[in-house]
């Protein structure tokens, strides 16, 4: 089915998320929609999917204008979507999720025909080699499997246009390759595919046509043969260097030493199992791994957010496990949390106050019981300048900042203390390319100043760009620690549990 | 070849959290101990308790059962203590036991209590059949209320207004029955009253995103005020608009003749039979039908439901109104089913107990029925003890089942997971 969008405009209040976007998806082609986070790709697809009403513009299917009142209409017209945040009901089974909305029923009471749904799931998962149990509960499935449920859900409705919204964000490199194969298979069977992504590698691997979106506007189309630099500069609007400039590390003494550290999550499952590693002064150890393999717990256990059940960690020989979070921070640990809006900032506080969240109790920011506004203001102004935080005022709330600037606030706060160890989880998640460059540069500066740096990232590109050594985590254990120049293939296999020497 | 790290796959998090919960087992142990000391030993040696199960009008006559008080009460207490021990063991083993345990435990303690209460009373029998029958009758508003709550919350809307829906149902049932001279007309009017309150809740909670708890509380206050005003003005000026109207008893042929079960289950008025049917139909519909699947999807993950073309807010509005109607029907219990005239604030908090029954019943109609029966039994017990007379104020004894329930909910049943999206308005 041929799909055409003409002059789509979608506004949220004063903010124009999509500005007169034209898009043409040919039948049986993979059309990549490339753009940075926040460029308006997902909004556009939600308009197409009938989830948002467009303010202007028309949608044409096989040259006929269509109007979707809701996702139900879009699906009936043959448009399927695999959402970035899966649209699955966790306590339902695979079969129930697949049938939801177009259930096969029997009798006057419309009793569900679950056998029919199971058969559909089996048939489709066989066709694509998915190995899905129709009676498994979705909440018990791994993310990769959940995504397959989403794909089957769309295909079970005879989708002729399949939209995939950032489908690889939660996958290992191997799973990503598998998915891209599936996408090609779908194309060859005549399905049109819209692939929304900000990852150039994927675009080059499978796309037939590329449309680049920036700040809600189409900035151009490109051929998949275009170089990564060309695509990146279209996406960002200026030339960007695809590599992080960093000199060779000059590792000093061991600063952070972790020995056999174990921890359990809130529900008592062991998420961290006898993890050991060292980080030396002046080097970056990056922890790679698919989300949910214990990286979050590693950081939280080191900081003292969750209690450890075994092992210990030391900073300069001083034990930090078992101490309060405040003591850990004061012993020279800087921490950039995974979720800056949830754990890194108080959104309703001003930027100035957010910048002293961990320092408010000490001089010069407070004396006795009173805060010292002058010192706080001066500190904030200095940080805003040093870290290039784009804001109208230090009195603006942290919530009013863009993601990149919020992250700069967090970073500025953590780096304003003399640090021995910097721990950062997903330091550039959801940031634009410009902010990513900035954050990376600051982290490397910190390394060169002699701080031991521990990074957790599920973006393999980020890991390879920053790391001096790479530790790969799988199911709460460190599979191996390998040099930074280890190739992606090997890392990918290790992320699925294979040991370094075997993977290579 | 690649070797995989030797690691078992992390088991999926079951909803019974692996953290040990001691409140349940400890509570059960304490209650068992109280039962043992007070009812078991306290029954006094040599006394006898007489249980009667049949009435003279029954087709079969069953002789009364006389047992030695102390032995029986002690034995039942020991059973209760054994169950408490089992709960402790299960907690140590990090296992969860089914809800049968608190139920059997409660029955054992109640049996012990009744044996003690009837100990050494010549001529005063413990009326088992009567007790169970009144348990069914007293659970009616709780069952309907809990069903209403279940329907609303399964679609993602918290219904605190059950109390108001019951009260308005009771009011309109009495008014319409009196005006028309037909109790059944009142039975038809009651759900309309509840639906009206439900519709108000739906408008504010679903359309205007007002906090659902606040709207619910406000609606309760509104209904109390409105019915009290009309009771004091309209009904006082026209006494013929508030008469005692009664749905007659409709014994089910044959079934009602069965000993014990017959009078307990099948010798009631129409509302009780409607209750049976409603529970069964709703349970099947909610878990087996297309409607139910969609409702549950809306309550768990409304956006997912929306993306497959289910109208989230429409589903919610419908469910809240339907839930209101069911609670309103339950309100008919207080007036036309009980054969009473309307009285100010006559629902006396039953709507809130119904909410507790809904949670204990884990948001399922079947569970709601069982939980409501447990609470109904508690009420019946209090009444029976009041009639028999006992040294301890019956109000205190009536608390026992509730205490058992609190401990059961706290520890034994495990953490019951409410629908994920309840209380959250759906905004795109």
d(C-alpha B248, C-alpha B38), whole Å: 42
Q: How many CA atoms lie within 13 A of A406 on its CB side?
A: 26
Virtual CA dihedral for A409, A413, A418, A422, nearest 10 degrees? -70
What CATH number has the domain bearing residue A441? 3.40.50.300
First-to-last C-alpha distance (Å) of chain B = 49
Interface with A, mutate which of B286, B290, B362, B422 (most A CBs under 10 A): B290
- Does residue A195 sit in the same domain as residue A108? yes
d(C-alpha A86, C-alpha A269), whole Å: 24
Of A72, A139, A268, the CB nearest to B309: A72
B299, A91 Cβ separation under 8 angstroms: no
B303 to chain A: which residues are within 8 Å by CB? 87
Domain range holding A297? 254-332+418-503
Of B4, B17, B291, the CB nearest to A110: B291
Residue A163 DSSP code: E
Quote the minimal CA–CA distance from B303 to chain A in Å: 7
Torsion sign, CA atoms B74, B75, B78, B79:
negative
Split at pLDDT 50, 70, 90, the class of B20 is low
Residue A136 DSSP code: S
- Final residue in a domain of this structure, among A190, A205, A236: A236
Helix (H) or strand (E) holding A433: helix A433-448
Angle at A21 between CA A19 and CA A25, to 5 degrees: 160
Residue A401 lies in a domain: no
pLDDT tens-digit profile of B227-238? 999 999 999 999
Return the closest-CA partner of residue A104 out of A96, A113, A115: A113
B309 to chain A: which residues are within 8 Å by CB? 70-73, 75-76, 101-102
Torsion sign, CA atoms B261, B265, B268, B270:
negative
B11 shares contact with chain A (CB less than 8 Å): yes
Residue A245 lies in a domain: no
Helix (H) or strand (E) holding A501: helix A500-503
d(C-alpha A452, C-alpha B272), whole Å: 73
B168, B302 Cβ separation under 8 angstroms: no
A337, A313 Cβ separation under 8 angstroms: no
Measured between alpha carbons, how far is residue B107 from residues B87, B97, B129 in Å? 16, 17, 15
d(C-alpha B389, C-alpha B386), whole Å: 5
What lies within 8 Å, CB to CB, of A213 at 6+ separation is A21, A33, A34, A35, A39, A40, A41, A44, A219
Q: What is the 3-state secondary structure (H, E, C) of chain B?
A: CCCECCCCCCCCCCCCCCCCCCHHHHHHHHHHHHHHHHHHHHHCCCCEEEEECCCCCCCCCCCCEEEEHHHHHHHHHHHHHHHHHHHHHHHHCCCCCCCHHHHHHHHHHHHHHHHHHCCCCCCCCEEHHHHHHHHHHHHHHHHHHHHHHHHHHHCCCCCCCHHHHHHHHHHHHHHHHHHHCCHHHHHHHHHHHHHHHHHHHHHHHHHCCCCHHHHHHHHHHHHHHHHHHHHHCHHHHCHHHCCCCCCCEEECCCHHHCCCHHHHHCEEEHHHHHHHHHHHHHHHHHHHEHHHHHHHHHHHCHHHHHHCCCCHHHHHHHHHHHHHHHHHHHHCHHHHHCCCCCCCCCCCCHHHHHHHHHHHCCCCHHHHHHHHHHHHHHHHHHHHHHHHCCCCCHHHHHHHHHHHHHHHHHHHCCCCCCCCCCCCCCCC
A309, A264 Cβ separation under 8 angstroms: yes
pLDDT tens-digit profile of A89-133? 999 999 999 999 999 999 888 999 999 999 999 999 998 888 899
Determine whether the interchain pair B7/A273 forms a contact, defined as Cβ–Cβ distance below 8 Å.
yes
- Does residue A196 sit in the same domain as residue A262? no
A99 to chain B: which residues are within 8 Å by CB? 293
Of B285, B294, B307, the CB nearest to A87: B307
Quote the minimal CA–CA distance from B419 to chain A in Å: 10
- Does residue A211 sit in the same domain as residue A163? yes
Comparing alpha-carbon positions, the chain B residue that sits nearest to A87 is B304
Helix (H) or strand (E) holding A24: strand A15-25
Return the closest-CA partner of residue A340 out of A431, A460, A465, A421: A431
Quote the minimal CA–CA distance from B16 to chain A in Å: 9
d(C-alpha A88, C-alpha A97), whole Å: 6
CA gyration radius, chain B: 24
B23, B407 Cβ separation under 8 angstroms: yes
Count Cβ atoms below 10 Å from residue B46 Cβ, excluding itself: 10
B7 to chain A: which residues are within 8 Å by CB? 273, 474-477, 497
pLDDT tens-digit profile of B407-417? 666 655 556 68
Quote the minimal CA–CA distance from B414 to chain A in Å: 13
Return the closest-CA partner of residue A422 out of A332, A334, A294: A334
- Does residue A228 sit in the same domain as residue A312? no
Strands A421-425 and A333-336: parallel
Of A273, A474, A502, the CB nearest to B1: A502
Helix (H) or strand (E) holding A221: strand A217-222
Rounded to the nearest 10 degrees, the angle between the axes of helix B162-180 and helix B183-202 is 150
Return the closest-CA partner of residue B223 out of B350, B344, B354: B344
Please state the pTM of the whole predicted model.
0.81
Quote the minimal CA–CA distance from B273 to chain A in Å: 21
Give residues 80 to 119 of B whose Cβ lies within 8 Å of A: none
What's the whole-number mean pLDDT along residues B48-72?
Answer: 75
- Does residue A200 sit in the same domain as residue A265? no
d(C-alpha B428, C-alpha B425), whole Å: 10
- Does residue A192 sit in the same domain as residue A127? yes
Of A83, A267, A497, the CB nearest to B5: A497
Comparing alpha-carbon positions, the chain B residue that sits nearest to A268 is B18
Residue A341 lies in a domain: no
Rounded to the nearest 10 degrees, the angle between the axes of helix B350-360 and helix B365-388 is 130
Backbone phi and psi for residue A356, each to the nearest 5 degrees, phi listed first: -120, 25
Residue A357 lies in a domain: no
Chain centroid offset of residue B66 CA: 31
Quote the minimal CA–CA distance from A137 to chain B in Å: 10
- The number of C-beta contacts closer than 8 angstroms across A and B is 126
Determine whether the interchain pair B5/A140 forms a contact, defined as Cβ–Cβ distance below 8 Å.
no
d(C-alpha B70, C-alpha B49), whole Å: 9
Determine whether the interchain pair A90/B301 forms a contact, defined as Cβ–Cβ distance below 8 Å.
yes
d(C-alpha B24, C-alpha B176), whole Å: 46
B13 to chain A: which residues are within 8 Å by CB? 267, 269
B12 shares contact with chain A (CB less than 8 Å): yes
Determine whether the interchain pair B301/A153 forms a contact, defined as Cβ–Cβ distance below 8 Å.
no
B121 shares contact with chain A (CB less than 8 Å): no
Strands A30-34 and B65-68: unpaired
Count Cβ atoms below 10 Å from residue A460 Cβ, excluding itself: 21
Residue A243 lies in a domain: no
Looking at residue A133, its pLDDT comes to 93
B428 to chain A: which residues are within 8 Å by CB? 51-52
Residue A391 lies in a domain: no
B19 to chain A: which residues are within 8 Å by CB? 266-268
Q: Is B8 a residue whose pLDDT tops 80?
A: no
B293 shares contact with chain A (CB less than 8 Å): yes
Give residues 162 to 201 of B whose Cβ lies within 8 Å of A: none
A111 to chain B: which residues are within 8 Å by CB? 284, 288-290
Return the closest-CA partner of residue A456 out of A478, A489, A431: A478
d(C-alpha A358, C-alpha A331), whole Å: 12
- Does residue A185 sit in the same domain as residue A95? yes
- Does residue A171 sit in the same domain as residue A279? no
Determine whether the interchain pair A92/B296 forms a contact, defined as Cβ–Cβ distance below 8 Å.
yes
A81, A165 Cβ separation under 8 angstroms: yes
Of B12, B290, B296, the CB nearest to A110: B290
Q: How high does pLDDT run on average in chain B?
A: 86
What's the whole-number mean pLDDT along residues B37-52?
Answer: 82
- Does residue A106 sit in the same domain as residue A40? yes
Interface with A, mutate which of B277, B289, B305, B307 (most A CBs under 10 A): B307
**Torsion-angle region of residue A402: left (phi > 0), alpha (psi -120 to 50) or beta?**
beta
E strand segments, A86-153: 105-106, 111-112
Determine whether the interchain pair A72/B420 forms a contact, defined as Cβ–Cβ distance below 8 Å.
no
Residue A178 DSSP code: H
- Final residue in a domain of this structure, among A236, A265, A297: A236
Angle at A391 between CA A386 and CA A392, to 5 degrees: 125
- Final residue in a domain of this structure, among A236, A264, A281: A236
Determine whether the interchain pair B309/A105 forms a contact, defined as Cβ–Cβ distance below 8 Å.
no
d(C-alpha A358, C-alpha A398), whole Å: 15
Looking at residue A129, its pLDDT comes to 83
DSSP alpha helix (H) spans, A449-486: 460-466
Residue A134 DSSP code: T
pLDDT tens-digit profile of B259-316? 788 889 999 999 999 999 999 999 999 999 999 999 999 999 999 999 998 999 999 9
Of A70, A105, A475, the CB nearest to B5: A475
**Torsion-angle region of residue A101: left (phi > 0), alpha (psi -120 to 50) or beta?**
left
Residue A377 lies in a domain: no
Of B13, B304, B428, the CB nearest to A89: B304
- Does residue A119 sit in the same domain as residue A174? yes
d(C-alpha B299, C-alpha B418), whole Å: 9
**Number of domains composing chain A:** 2
What ipTM goes with this model? 0.84
- Does residue A222 sit in the same domain as residue A168? yes
- Does residue A23 sit in the same domain as residue A80? yes
Comparing alpha-carbon positions, the chain B residue that sits nearest to A150 is B304
B226, B197 Cβ separation under 8 angstroms: no
pLDDT per residue of chain A (504 residues) written in tens, 0 to 9? 889 999 999 988 878 889 999 999 999 999 999 888 778 888 898 899 888 889 999 999 999 999 998 888 998 899 999 988 899 999 999 999 999 999 999 988 899 999 999 999 999 999 888 889 999 999 888 888 899 999 999 999 989 999 998 888 777 778 888 899 999 999 998 899 999 988 888 888 999 999 999 888 999 999 988 888 888 888 888 777 667 778 888 899 999 999 999 998 766 778 899 999 999 999 999 999 887 788 989 999 999 988 899 999 999 999 999 899 999 998 999 999 988 888 889 989 999 999 999 888 888 899 988 999 999 999 999 999 999 888 888 999 998 887 788 999 999 999 998 899 999 999 988 777 778 888 999 999 999 999 999 999 988 888 988 999 999 999 899 999 999 988 888 898 898 888 756 655
d(C-alpha B313, C-alpha B419), whole Å: 16
């Amino acid at each position: 089915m041929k799909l055409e969008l003409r002059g789509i405009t979608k506004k949220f209040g004063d903010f124009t998320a999509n500005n007169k976007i034209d898009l043409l998806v040919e039948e049986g082609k993979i059309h990549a929609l490339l753009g940075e986070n926040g460029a308006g790709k997902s909004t556009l697809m939600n308009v197409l999917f009938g989830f948002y009403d467009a303010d202007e513009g028309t949608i044409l299917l096989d040259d006929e204008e269509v109007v979707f009142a809701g996702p139900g209409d879009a699906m009936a017209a043959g448009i399927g979507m695999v959402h970035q945040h899966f649209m699955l009901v966790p306590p339902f089974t695979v079969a129930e999720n697949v049938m939801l909305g177009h259930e096969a029923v029997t009798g006057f009471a419309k009793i569900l025909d679950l056998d029919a749904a199971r058969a559909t799931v089996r048939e489709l998962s066989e066709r694509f080699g998915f190995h899905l149990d129709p009676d498994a509960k979705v909440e018990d499935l791994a993310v990769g499997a959940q995504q397959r449920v989403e794909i089957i859900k769309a295909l079970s409705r005879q989708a002729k246009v399949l939209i995939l919204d950032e489908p690889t964000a939660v996958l290992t490199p191997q799973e990503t390759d598998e998915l891209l194969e599936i996408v090609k298979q779908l194309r060859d069977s005549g399905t049109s595919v819209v692939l929304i992504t900000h990852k150039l590698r994927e675009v080059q691997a499978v796309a037939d046509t590329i449309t680049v979106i920036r700040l809600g506007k189409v900035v151009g189309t490109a051929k998949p043969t275009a170089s990564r630099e060309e695509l990146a500069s279209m996406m960002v609007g200026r030339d960007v260097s695809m590599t992080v400039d960093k000199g060779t590390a000059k590792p000093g003494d061991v600063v952070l030493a972790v020995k056999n550290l174990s921890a359990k999550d809130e529900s008592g499952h062991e998420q961290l199992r006898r993890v050991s590693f060292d980080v030396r002064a002046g080097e970056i150890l990056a922890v790679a791994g698919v989300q949910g393999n214990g990286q979050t717990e590693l950081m939280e256990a080191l900081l003292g957010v969750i209690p450890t059940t075994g092992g210990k960690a030391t900073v300069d020989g001083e034990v930090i496990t078992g101490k309060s979070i405040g003591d850990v921070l004061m012993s020279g640990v800087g921490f950039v949390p995974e979720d800056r809006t949830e754990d890194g900032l108080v959104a309703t506080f001003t930027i100035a106050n957010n910048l002293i969240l961990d320092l408010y109790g000490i001089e010069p920011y407070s004396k006795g019981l009173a805060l010292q506004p002058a010192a706080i203001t001066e500190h904030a102004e200095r940080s805003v300048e040093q870290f290039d935080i784009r804001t109208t005022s230090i009195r603006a709330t942290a919530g009013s900042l863009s993601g990149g600037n919020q992250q700069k606030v967090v970073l500025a706060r953590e780096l304003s203390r003399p640090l021995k160890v910097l721990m950062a989880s997903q330091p550039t998640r959801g940031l634009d390319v410009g902010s990513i460059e900035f954050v990376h540069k600051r982290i490397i500066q910190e390394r060169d100043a002699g701080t031991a740096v521990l990074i957790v990232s599920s973006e393999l590109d980020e890991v390879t760009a920053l790391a001096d050594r790479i530790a790969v985590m799988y199911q709460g254990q460190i599979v191996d620690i390998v040099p930074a120049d280890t190739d992606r293939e090997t890392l990918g296999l290790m992320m699925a549990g294979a040991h370094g020497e075997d993977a290579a | 070849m690649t070797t995989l790290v030797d690691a078992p796959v992390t088991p999926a998090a079951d909803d019974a959290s692996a953290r040990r919960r001691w409140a349940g087992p400890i509570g059960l142990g304490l209650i068992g101990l109280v039962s043992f000391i007070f009812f078991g030993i306290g029954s006094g040696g040599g006394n006898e308790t007489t249980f009667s199960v049949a009435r003279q009008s029954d087709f079969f006559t069953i002789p009364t059962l006389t047992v030695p008080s102390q032995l029986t009460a002690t034995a039942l207490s020991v059973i209760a203590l054994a169950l408490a021990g089992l709960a402790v063991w299960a907690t140590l083993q990090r296992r969860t036991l089914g809800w049968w345990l608190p139920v059997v435990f409660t029955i054992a303690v109640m049996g012990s209590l009744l044996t003690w209460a009837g100990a050494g009373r010549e001529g005063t029998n413990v009326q088992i059949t009567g007790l169970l029958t009144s348990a069914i009758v007293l659970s009616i508003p709780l069952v309907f209320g809990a069903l209403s709550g279940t329907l609303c919350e399964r679609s993602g809307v918290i219904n605190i207004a059950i109390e108001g829906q019951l009260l308005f149902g009771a009011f309109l049932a009495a008014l319409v029955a009196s005006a028309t001279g037909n109790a059944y007309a009142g039975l038809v009017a009651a759900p309309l009253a509840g639906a009206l309150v439900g519709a108000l809740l739906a408008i504010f909670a679903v359309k205007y995103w007002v906090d659902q708890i606040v709207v619910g509380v406000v609606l309760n206050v509104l209904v109390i005020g409105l019915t009290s005003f009309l009771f004091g003005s309209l009904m006082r000026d026209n006494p013929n608009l508030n008469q005692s109207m009664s749905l007659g008893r409709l014994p089910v042929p044959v079934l009602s003749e069965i000993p014990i079960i017959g009078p307990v289950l099948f010798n009631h008025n129409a509302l009780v039979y409607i209750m049976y049917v409603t529970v069964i139909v709703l349970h099947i519909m909610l878990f087996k039908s297309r409607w139910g699947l969609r409702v549950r999807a809306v309550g768990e993950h409304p956006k997912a439901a929306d993306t497959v073309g289910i109208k989230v807010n429409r589903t919610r509005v419908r469910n809240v109104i339907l839930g209101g109607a069911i609670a309103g029907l339950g309100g008919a219990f207080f007036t036309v089913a009980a054969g009473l005239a309307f009285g100010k604030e006559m629902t006396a908090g039953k709507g809130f107990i119904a909410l507790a029954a809904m949670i204990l019943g884990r948001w399922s109609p079947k569970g709601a029925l069982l939980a409501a029966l447990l609470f109904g039994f508690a009420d019946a017990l209090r009444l029976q003890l009041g009639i028999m007379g006992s040294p301890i104020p019956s109000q205190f004894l009536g608390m026992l089942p509730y205490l058992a329930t609190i401990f059961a909910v706290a520890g034994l049943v495990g953490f019951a997971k409410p629908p994920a999206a309840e209380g959250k308005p759906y905004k795109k």
